[in-house]
Amino acid sequence: MLSTMYKMLIVDDERAIVNGLFRLFEEESELQLDLFRAYSGVEAYELIRTQPMDIVLSDIRMPGMTGLELQKKVKELWPGCQFIFLTGFDEFHYVQEALRNEGTDYILKTEEDSTIVLSVGKAVERLNKQLEIHISMAEAALKLKQALPILQKELLWEFLQEEGAYNDSRLLRQIQELDFPLSLDREVLLMVARVDDWGNKTNTSDRMLMLYAMTNIVKEYLGSTAELYPLANGQGEVVWLIQDSQMLAAETVSSSKRIALLMNNASESILEACKRYLGITISLIVASEAVSWETCRVKFNRLRRLLFVNHAMRRELALSEANLTKAEEGLHAESPDTSAQRQQRKMLLLDTYLETGQREAFNELFYELVRLTGENEAEIDVVQMHLYYGIVTLFLSYLHQLGQPPKGGSQLDIRRLTHMEQHGSWAGAVQYLQGIADLLFSVKNDDLDERDREVIRKIKRYVEQNLAGDLSLTHIADLVGFNRSYLSRLYKQKTGEGLSEYILDMRLKKAKELLRQPAIKIHEISEALGFESAAYFTRFFKKMTNLTPTEFRELNQ
């Protein structure tokens, strides 16, 4: 069953209430909430300006900025955000004003925890229904987009992809003449996406419908802060050109950077919404900053390389250009292809597929190159020899990078690999090369699996050593360099359990260990495990064991 992780912000000027609610919802793993906290309305608003929230659980009466004032400001930016007001003031006029401002619920602080959890659960249901509307609106959006001049999109693709700076000014001028919705005088932010899995969308019309629905989802997270223009091709590649709105552009010089930060923070939610409501999985990368139109091509090709080459083997990734290391950036640096020969260009592409572990694409291109050499089986000709040794060069280069023979490589005889005549026929040589390719791809997958296992080991070590520290999914994801959603899926895939369940199990295991030592007081155990108070620790322990810490200690004396 698919699940969507929603972001919820808890706001109150009383720290104990915020921290208590934070712990409460940490234990409600079924709701799949990514939790944030703020201790004033002003602090909450500053966070929400660049970090879109799906749910806000807020006190109404707070100094500086009240909950109602916060709601009005947030609704201007994110109309779909769900508000739940939690207050100790049972006065009707507060309820009236909350409902007038489209507040979603109003709960007294004296209510039971179960009532608060139920209210948040209802907000999650409303969010699910909101997102389901996107798919029903996609067909209408498609018809609207089809009315746009086809030439406009063709010119934009040409501008982004084709070399030849001599005609850039002409292309930009032609694009502007076609009533292009974005301003060519202001910087533009690029976000590039690829479709990793179309699901059951097999025909072209269904896929185009999904691409327009994806744009609707992106618009939802941008709200009124920016304008965007989508470009898509038939291979599942999408580029969104994004500009801050005219109003915000006039308001502050740094607005374009704020849009970049906003899209980076929303990227995981976009991935999850596409998977849950469109049935497709995507990966995307957001540029670190907006650039001028004159440098768009350079930025586009860089983002494309990072997504389609450097991270080609991973799926459902939300990448940030700003977070990628220099070493990773230069791993597959572009080299200009000056050759006019079609086969040489295809050989460069074959090398890329081998390096990035794209087995299906490699095999498809490999057999295409084999067909181009003809079907001369009587004797191996010069064209076939050229292709054979070209592919052997790719294999030897890859083996050199490994630094050691691959495990299970008993079939890898270097002499046989480098002497084509030992195969007897062209068909035999092709079959042998295919076997070596399969071996190298298996090595690539094994290497990726080992790196994933090392990530899991690193997470477990960190959790075990920091039970009283920051164990939020956001912090752990930053620690290992993955986005939250991908990390959550990877951990469950490799271990069979959710990361939050593992953290709870480790806290429980450590609690039992410490409770067996009578000299350690219960409030000391609570602090050692990162609980806000002994009362919250007691509630957690009883929920997990049906015993209070004191009862457990008495039974284990």
pLDDT digits (tens, 9 = 90+) for 210-255: 888 888 888 888 877 788 888 887 667 889 888 887 544 444 445 5
Q: Are 379 and 426 in contact (CB under 8 A)?
A: no
**325 contact partners, CB below 8 Å, separation of at least 6:** none
Residue 37 has pLDDT above 90, yes or no: yes
pLDDT of 253: 44
What pLDDT band is residue 363 in, cutting at 50, 70 and 90?
confident
pLDDT of 334: 41
Helix, strand or coil for residue 161? helix
Task: Give the residue, 520 or 165, on which the prediction is more confident.
Answer: 520
pLDDT of 102: 56
- Is the alpha carbon torsion for 352, 356, 361, 366 positive or negative? positive
pTM of the model: 0.45
pLDDT of 203: 75
DSSP result, 309-366: IITSS--S-EEEGGGS-HHHHTTT---------HHHHHHHHHHHHHHHT-HHHHHHHH
Pick from 260, 300, 291, 259: nearest CA to 156: 300
Share of the chain above pLDDT 90, in %: 9
Task: Give the residue, 517 or 211, on which the prediction is more confident.
Answer: 517
Task: Quote the DSSP letter at residue 226.
Answer: E
Strands 33-38 and 55-58: unpaired
Structure tokens at 479: 């620690």
In this structure, how many other beta carbons lie within 10 angstroms of the beta carbon of residue 105? 20
Give the residue-averaged pLDDT of 261-279.
Answer: 86
Give the residue-averaged pLDDT of 252-266.
Answer: 72
pLDDT digits (tens, 9 = 90+) for 450-461: 778 888 888 898
Residue 313 has pLDDT above 80, yes or no: no
Residue 117 has pLDDT above 80, yes or no: yes
Amino acid 36 reads F
User: How would you label 114-126 residue by residue, b for 16+ Cβ within 10 Å and e otherwise?
Assistant: eebbebbeebbee
Structure tokens at 147: 């009315």
Task: Of 39-43, 349-353, 465-469, give the lowest mean pLDDT range.
Answer: 349-353
Pick from 282, 177, 180: nearest CA to 241: 180
Virtual torsion, Cα 247, 251, 254, 257, nearest 10 deg: -20
Q: What is the Cα–Cα distance from 191 to 230, expressed in whole angstroms?
A: 10
Task: Quote the DSSP letter at residue 66.
Answer: -
Residue 330 has pLDDT above 50, yes or no: no
Give the residue-averaged pLDDT of 476-480.
Answer: 82
pLDDT of 438: 84
pLDDT of 404: 58
**Which of 349-353, 393-397, 518-522 reaches the highest mean pLDDT?**
518-522
In this structure, how many other beta carbons lie within 10 angstroms of the beta carbon of residue 280? 21
What pLDDT band is residue 12 in, cutting at 50, 70 and 90?
very high
Task: Quote the DSSP letter at residue 185.
Answer: T
Give the residue-averaged pLDDT of 522-527.
Answer: 89
Task: Give the residue, 68 or 137, on which the prediction is more confident.
Answer: 68
pLDDT digits (tens, 9 = 90+) for 60-100: 889 999 988 999 899 888 888 899 988 776 655 666 565 65
pLDDT of 202: 72
pLDDT of 90: 61
Virtual torsion, Cα 13, 14, 16, 21, nearest 10 deg: -60
What average pLDDT is seen over the chain? 78
Structure tokens at 347: 């050989």
pLDDT of 104: 67
pLDDT of 2: 41
Give the residue-averaged pLDDT of 370-383.
Answer: 67
Give the residue-averaged pLDDT of 423-427.
Answer: 82
Residue 132 has pLDDT above 60, yes or no: yes
What is the residue whose two structure tokens read 């602080």? 109
pLDDT of 377: 57
Helix, strand or coil for residue 42? helix
Q: What is the Cα–Cα distance from 210 to 505, expressed in whole angstroms?
A: 40
Task: Give the residue, 20 or 90, on which the prediction is more confident.
Answer: 20
Q: Are 71 and 50 in contact (CB under 8 A)?
A: no
Residue 424 has pLDDT above 90, yes or no: no
pLDDT of 41: 94
Share of the chain above pLDDT 70, in %: 79
Structure tokens at 58: 């807020």
**CA terminus-to-terminus distance, the chain:** 44
Structure tokens at 513: 């260990």
Q: What is the Cα–Cα distance from 237 to 462, expressed in whole angstroms?
A: 37
Pick from 420, 432, 492: nearest CA to 459: 492
Q: What share of the chain is helix, strand, coil (3-state, %, to 5)?
A: 60, 10, 30
